Amino acid sequence: MAMRGAKTERKMRHSWWLFCWGALFVVGCGQGPAASDVAPLNGPWNAYESVDFELPALDSLAQYSAQITLRNTNNYPYNNLFLIVSLTHPHGKVQTDTLEYRMAYPDGTWLGVGVGSIKDNLLSYREAMSFEEGLGYQLSIKHALRNNGAAQGVSLLEGITEVGYQIHELNP
């Protein structure tokens, strides 16, 4: 009986070390974002206020994909979200996109990842983009939500608690 317990203990130790090496491999080999930032929203998101980011210097020869990050709570009253995202280049050129994202399934279940009433969303913004002009790019994000049939937009948007971005290098 003692022999069987020793074998079991060795197997458990062996399994533990395999787990540790596997975890180290996954963490060590994972490619994180080349740049990212997040800004908390203190209260409702005002339609007339943008969330602005100064982008760090990125390799001018590399290609990148960019995503918008959002955190929402159960207080978010819609199943979609419209954003106006502007990328200002160092020499003044501005590229503006109006984007629509689904935030929930038709049955009301939130998309995104998270536990309980808080969900994190990673929303595609641009693919295969480059930052050829070096330092000085700015990213500006604001919401542009409207209620069905209403001429005016939603001035104060509830339920979005953080807005940010992630930029990943393609084929590093």
Question: What is the C-alpha separation between 69 and 164, in angstroms, rounded?
Answer: 5
Looking at residue 16, what is its pLDDT?
38
pLDDT for residue 11? 45
pTM, full prediction: 0.79
pLDDT of residue 151: 76
Q: In this structure, which topology does domain 33-169 adopt according to CATH?
A: Jelly Rolls (2.60.120)
Selection from 103, 117, 115 nearest residue 74 by Cα = 117
pLDDT less than 50: residues of the chain: 1, 4, 7-29
pLDDT at 153: 84
Per-residue confidence (pLDDT) for residue 30, from 0 to 100 = 54
Q: What per-residue confidence (pLDDT) applies to 83?
A: 97
